[in-house]
Amino acid sequence: MGKYQLRGVDARTRYADMTADACSRAYAADILRGRLLSIAGVVAIGVLSIVAASFSNWFFYAIGIFAIGLVVVLFRKWTTTKYTELMGILTHDCDPEKLRLVLERSLRGAKRARSKAVLEDDIATCEYYCGEPESALARLAGVELRDKHDKLGIRKTSLELLCRYALGDAAGAKQALAELKALRSQVPSSSAWAVPLETMYESDKELLRPHDQWTRKDAERMYKRLTYAENHLNRASAQLRLAEYELLHRGTDEARRLLEDPALEPLCPRDQAERARLLARLA
């Protein structure tokens, strides 16, 4: 048995065996169904509230107004959940090209500036994992931020770092890392993004260091990210980096086991290229 206890096969999404067209239709149908149910709920509650007001029953009228607000909040949370499931085409199925096609169609129908910015950022992420960092950087340049300290701003900065590193722009990558460090000190510890930001910062800082200077503590962090990764994409990235550590510092046996692990599939194009690069060094 090898040094590391590897994860088994990760779950895939309901979109895994669909075409991009089918994914778009399924997602649009989900959103339409949720919107119609929400509208029906708001109308029904509104009618009941008006009836309550007509009888001067202000208590039930107030409950009705509160319920309408609750329906709106729940619908927004539900749409966020559905969008996260759609993003699973990348994060779980590792098919960035298919997700890019789906998101580009959604972008054409987007009306709100915030929605457009999120979609542009996610399409740029797909481009990066398709092995197209130049396209991703060009798209990121057009993403307008409301606040660089929020979730979108943090994601954009980290993605820019990865793209610049992939293109060999060491100075640009270090500048992006400095921005992440500044954001890390400004995000409150109570924020839901405090821990993910810390993990992101440590991983990016580790990436920019000379890889032959990685230490056993770095390897422990890599293995921890592999073990607790919330999705297959992050698990694969951590496993590939851990394989490189083993190759550089401990020899080929464990590196080969990590790279040839059948559960490492599926891989996005960028990670396929990275695994091929590392396997070539084993030959």
Q: What is the pLDDT along the chain (283 residues), one digit of tens a residue?
A: 468 888 888 999 999 999 999 999 999 999 999 999 999 999 999 999 999 999 889 999 999 999 999 999 999 999 999 999 999 999 999 999 999 999 999 999 888 888 999 999 999 999 999 999 999 999 999 988 776 667 888 899 999 999 999 999 999 999 999 999 998 888 777 777 788 888 899 999 999 999 999 999 999 999 999 999 999 999 999 999 999 999 999 889 999 999 999 999 999 999 999 999 999 998 7
The 8-class DSSP code of residue 262 comes to G
Whether 134 and 172 map to the same domain: the answer is yes
The total number of structural domains that make up the chain: 3
Cα distance between residue 57 and residue 62, in whole Å: 9
- From 112, 166, 182, select the one nearest 144 (Cα to Cα): 112
Whether 197 and 217 map to the same domain: the answer is no
Cα distance between residue 234 and residue 222, in whole Å: 11
> By the 8 A CB rule, do 123 and 103 touch?
yes
Task: Please say which residue of 73, 97, 121 terminates a domain.
Answer: 97
Task: Please say which residue of 184, 205, 226 terminates a domain.
Answer: 205
97: three-class secondary structure by DSSP: helix
Whether 117 and 162 map to the same domain: the answer is yes
Task: Please say which residue of 66, 97, 128 terminates a domain.
Answer: 97
Whether 33 and 78 map to the same domain: the answer is yes
Residue with structure tokens 């919330």?
230
Cα distance between residue 178 and residue 162, in whole Å: 13
Cα distance between residue 42 and residue 61, in whole Å: 13
pTM: 0.92
Which residue segment(s) compose the domain that 45 sits in?
18-97
Whether 161 and 220 map to the same domain: the answer is no
Whether 162 and 232 map to the same domain: the answer is no
3 located within any domain: no
195 located within any domain: yes
